Chains A and B, each alone.
Chain A
Amino acid sequence: DAGVIQSPRHEVTEMGQEVTLRCKPISGHNSLFWYRQTMMRGLELLIYFNNNVPIDDSGMPEDRFSAKMPNASFSTLKIQPSEPRDSAVYFCASSGGGLRNGKLFFGSGTQLSVL
Protein backbone atom coordinates (compact mmCIF):
# COMPACT_ATOMS: atom_id res chain seq x y z
CA ASP A 1 0.00 0.00 0.00
CA ALA A 2 1.55 3.31 -1.12
CA GLY A 3 -0.21 5.36 1.51
CA VAL A 4 -1.63 8.82 0.91
CA ILE A 5 0.21 10.50 -1.94
CA GLN A 6 0.51 14.25 -2.19
CA SER A 7 2.04 16.37 -4.91
CA PRO A 8 4.01 18.48 -5.26
CA ARG A 9 6.23 18.08 -2.19
CA HIS A 10 7.36 21.68 -2.46
CA GLU A 11 5.79 24.62 -4.22
CA VAL A 12 7.28 28.08 -4.48
CA THR A 13 5.15 30.68 -6.17
CA GLU A 14 4.67 34.40 -6.35
CA MET A 15 1.86 36.31 -4.77
CA GLY A 16 -1.21 36.38 -6.98
CA GLN A 17 -0.51 33.10 -8.72
CA GLU A 18 -2.84 30.13 -8.65
CA VAL A 19 -1.66 27.10 -6.69
CA THR A 20 -3.09 23.59 -6.96
CA LEU A 21 -2.24 20.88 -4.46
CA ARG A 22 -3.08 17.27 -5.21
CA CYS A 23 -3.91 14.23 -3.13
CA LYS A 24 -4.49 10.57 -3.80
CA PRO A 25 -6.03 8.88 -0.75
CA ILE A 26 -5.54 5.26 0.24
CA SER A 27 -7.67 3.00 -1.90
CA GLY A 28 -10.92 2.08 -0.16
CA HIS A 29 -10.87 4.99 2.27
CA ASN A 30 -14.08 6.99 2.16
CA SER A 31 -13.05 9.99 4.28
CA LEU A 32 -10.61 12.64 3.11
CA PHE A 33 -9.32 15.66 4.99
CA TRP A 34 -7.19 18.67 4.08
CA TYR A 35 -5.20 20.19 6.94
CA ARG A 36 -2.86 23.17 7.11
CA GLN A 37 0.05 23.27 9.54
CA THR A 38 1.48 26.52 10.86
CA MET A 39 3.67 27.21 13.86
CA MET A 40 1.08 29.42 15.49
CA ARG A 41 -2.02 27.31 14.99
CA GLY A 42 -0.73 23.77 14.58
CA LEU A 43 -2.80 21.51 12.34
CA GLU A 44 -6.04 23.16 11.25
CA LEU A 45 -8.79 21.29 9.45
CA LEU A 46 -9.65 23.03 6.20
CA ILE A 47 -12.22 20.70 4.66
CA TYR A 48 -13.63 17.21 5.13
CA PHE A 49 -15.05 14.97 2.40
CA ASN A 50 -17.04 11.80 2.95
CA ASN A 51 -17.72 9.57 -0.06
CA ASN A 52 -16.44 12.39 -2.31
CA VAL A 53 -18.96 14.89 -0.92
CA PRO A 54 -17.78 17.96 0.99
CA ILE A 55 -19.27 17.69 4.47
CA ASP A 56 -17.55 20.48 6.35
CA ASP A 57 -15.66 23.35 4.73
CA SER A 58 -15.93 25.71 7.67
CA GLY A 59 -12.16 25.73 8.04
CA MET A 60 -11.50 27.07 4.57
CA PRO A 61 -10.08 30.49 5.38
CA GLU A 62 -11.40 32.53 2.48
CA ASP A 63 -13.06 32.34 -0.90
CA ARG A 64 -9.59 32.17 -2.39
CA PHE A 65 -9.49 28.56 -1.20
CA SER A 66 -11.45 25.80 -2.93
CA ALA A 67 -11.32 22.02 -2.83
CA LYS A 68 -12.74 19.31 -5.01
CA MET A 69 -12.98 15.55 -4.96
CA PRO A 70 -14.15 14.45 -8.41
CA ASN A 71 -13.74 10.76 -7.57
CA ALA A 72 -12.72 8.46 -4.76
CA SER A 73 -9.05 8.47 -5.72
CA PHE A 74 -8.29 12.14 -6.22
CA SER A 75 -8.70 15.49 -4.54
CA THR A 76 -7.36 18.98 -5.14
CA LEU A 77 -6.96 22.07 -3.01
CA LYS A 78 -6.68 25.28 -4.97
CA ILE A 79 -5.64 28.74 -3.83
CA GLN A 80 -6.37 31.57 -6.22
CA PRO A 81 -4.91 34.13 -5.88
CA SER A 82 -2.21 33.05 -3.44
CA GLU A 83 -0.85 35.37 -0.75
CA PRO A 84 2.30 35.23 1.41
CA ARG A 85 0.21 34.39 4.50
CA ASP A 86 -0.86 31.16 2.79
CA SER A 87 2.69 29.84 3.23
CA ALA A 88 2.41 26.67 5.28
CA VAL A 89 2.55 22.89 5.03
CA TYR A 90 -0.66 21.43 3.64
CA PHE A 91 -1.52 17.85 4.52
CA CYS A 92 -4.06 15.52 3.06
CA ALA A 93 -5.29 12.62 5.20
CA SER A 94 -7.64 9.74 4.57
CA SER A 95 -9.50 7.28 6.74
CA GLY A 96 -11.75 4.29 6.29
CA GLY A 97 -13.96 2.19 8.50
CA GLY A 98 -14.78 4.64 11.26
CA LEU A 99 -13.03 7.72 12.52
CA ARG A 100 -13.12 6.88 16.21
CA ASN A 101 -10.23 4.47 15.88
CA GLY A 102 -7.94 7.45 15.33
CA LYS A 103 -6.69 6.08 12.07
CA LEU A 104 -6.09 9.19 10.07
CA PHE A 105 -3.41 8.40 7.51
CA PHE A 106 -1.51 11.50 6.45
CA GLY A 107 0.43 12.17 3.31
CA SER A 108 3.90 13.70 3.48
CA GLY A 109 2.53 17.17 2.89
CA THR A 110 3.14 20.01 0.46
CA GLN A 111 5.40 22.80 1.67
CA LEU A 112 3.98 25.95 0.10
CA SER A 113 5.96 29.17 -0.03
CA VAL A 114 4.28 32.26 -1.49
CA LEU A 115 6.75 35.06 -2.11
Chain B
Amino acid sequence: DQQVKQNSPSLSVQEGRISILNCDYTNSMFDYFLWYKKYPAEGPTFLISISSIKDKNEDGRFTVFLNKSAKHLSLHIVPSQPGDSAVYFCACLSGTYKYIFGTGTRLKVLA
Protein backbone atom coordinates (compact mmCIF):
# COMPACT_ATOMS: atom_id res chain seq x y z
CA ASP B 1 0.00 0.00 0.00
CA GLN B 2 1.68 3.18 -1.23
CA GLN B 3 1.50 5.93 1.38
CA VAL B 4 3.19 8.41 -0.94
CA LYS B 5 2.09 8.63 -4.56
CA GLN B 6 3.42 10.46 -7.56
CA ASN B 7 0.78 9.74 -10.15
CA SER B 8 2.60 11.23 -13.11
CA PRO B 9 5.50 9.00 -14.12
CA SER B 10 6.74 11.60 -16.60
CA LEU B 11 6.38 15.24 -17.56
CA SER B 12 7.71 17.28 -20.48
CA VAL B 13 8.02 21.05 -20.30
CA GLN B 14 9.43 23.68 -22.61
CA GLU B 15 12.52 25.54 -21.43
CA GLY B 16 11.60 28.74 -19.64
CA ARG B 17 8.11 27.56 -18.66
CA ILE B 18 6.92 26.35 -15.27
CA SER B 19 7.28 22.71 -14.23
CA ILE B 20 4.80 21.46 -11.64
CA LEU B 21 5.39 18.10 -10.01
CA ASN B 22 2.77 16.65 -7.72
CA CYS B 23 2.75 14.28 -4.79
CA ASP B 24 -0.11 12.90 -2.67
CA TYR B 25 0.15 11.19 0.68
CA THR B 26 -2.27 9.31 2.87
CA ASN B 27 -0.82 9.48 6.38
CA SER B 28 -1.88 12.61 8.27
CA MET B 29 0.92 11.99 10.78
CA PHE B 30 3.59 13.00 8.26
CA ASP B 31 4.97 16.36 9.34
CA TYR B 32 8.03 16.98 7.22
CA PHE B 33 8.26 16.77 3.45
CA LEU B 34 11.10 16.84 0.97
CA TRP B 35 11.94 16.70 -2.69
CA TYR B 36 14.96 14.89 -4.06
CA LYS B 37 16.38 15.06 -7.55
CA LYS B 38 18.10 12.15 -9.27
CA TYR B 39 20.24 12.11 -12.39
CA PRO B 40 20.96 8.83 -14.21
CA ALA B 41 23.64 6.67 -12.61
CA GLU B 42 23.71 8.89 -9.52
CA GLY B 43 22.04 8.77 -6.15
CA PRO B 44 19.21 11.14 -5.24
CA THR B 45 20.26 14.55 -3.92
CA PHE B 46 18.28 16.75 -1.57
CA LEU B 47 16.53 19.67 -3.25
CA ILE B 48 14.09 21.41 -0.91
CA SER B 49 11.97 20.67 2.15
CA ILE B 50 8.97 22.00 4.04
CA SER B 51 7.66 21.54 7.53
CA SER B 52 3.98 20.95 8.17
CA ILE B 53 3.73 24.29 9.97
CA LYS B 54 4.28 26.07 6.66
CA ASP B 55 2.43 25.99 3.38
CA LYS B 56 5.21 27.28 1.15
CA ASN B 57 8.98 27.26 0.99
CA GLU B 58 11.05 28.89 -1.71
CA ASP B 59 14.66 28.44 -2.76
CA GLY B 60 15.63 30.24 -5.92
CA ARG B 61 13.76 28.75 -8.85
CA PHE B 62 12.27 26.00 -6.68
CA THR B 63 9.15 26.37 -4.54
CA VAL B 64 7.41 23.65 -2.58
CA PHE B 65 3.75 24.02 -1.65
CA LEU B 66 1.98 22.00 1.01
CA ASN B 67 -1.78 21.58 1.28
CA LYS B 68 -2.29 19.61 4.49
CA SER B 69 -6.05 19.34 4.21
CA ALA B 70 -5.72 17.77 0.77
CA LYS B 71 -2.59 15.83 1.76
CA HIS B 72 -0.94 17.20 -1.32
CA LEU B 73 2.56 18.44 -2.02
CA SER B 74 3.83 20.12 -5.16
CA LEU B 75 7.15 21.34 -6.52
CA HIS B 76 7.25 24.31 -8.87
CA ILE B 77 10.31 25.04 -10.97
CA VAL B 78 10.34 28.47 -12.62
CA PRO B 79 11.84 28.97 -15.11
CA SER B 80 12.61 25.40 -16.12
CA GLN B 81 16.05 24.73 -17.59
CA PRO B 82 17.38 21.74 -19.54
CA GLY B 83 19.67 20.91 -16.60
CA ASP B 84 16.54 20.32 -14.51
CA SER B 85 15.81 17.19 -16.54
CA ALA B 86 15.94 14.40 -13.95
CA VAL B 87 13.75 12.14 -11.85
CA TYR B 88 12.14 13.90 -8.90
CA PHE B 89 11.11 12.03 -5.77
CA CYS B 90 8.94 13.39 -3.03
CA ALA B 91 9.48 12.03 0.47
CA CYS B 92 7.49 12.26 3.68
CA LEU B 93 8.93 11.84 7.14
CA SER B 94 7.26 9.36 9.43
CA GLY B 95 8.48 9.64 13.01
CA THR B 96 12.10 10.64 13.47
CA TYR B 97 13.94 8.83 10.67
CA LYS B 98 11.66 6.98 8.28
CA TYR B 99 11.50 8.79 4.96
CA ILE B 100 8.81 7.31 2.73
CA PHE B 101 9.48 8.04 -0.92
CA GLY B 102 7.17 8.20 -3.89
CA THR B 103 7.84 6.36 -7.14
CA GLY B 104 9.29 9.42 -8.86
CA THR B 105 8.41 11.67 -11.81
CA ARG B 106 10.75 11.93 -14.76
CA LEU B 107 10.96 15.56 -15.88
CA LYS B 108 12.21 16.42 -19.34
CA VAL B 109 12.84 20.07 -20.11
CA LEU B 110 12.91 20.67 -23.83
CA ALA B 111 15.32 23.28 -25.23
Contact = CB atoms under 8 A, between A and B. Distances in A.
A99 B43 contact: no
Interface residues of A, number: 27
B99 A104 contact: yes
Nearest to A101: B49
Contacts of B98: 45, 48, 56
Instruction: Classify the interface of chain B: helix, strand, loop or mixed.
Output: strand
Interface stretch (A64-72, A79-87, A106-114): A106-114
Contacts, number: 61
A106 B45 CA distance: 7
A40 interface: yes
- Interface size classification for chain B: 20 to 34
Interface string B85-111: 000010101001111111110000000
B65 interface: no
Interface string B36-47: 100001111110
In the A-B complex, the 5 residue pairs with the smallest Cβ-Cβ separation, listed nearest first, are A106-B43, A42-B103, A43-B101, A102-B49, A102-B34
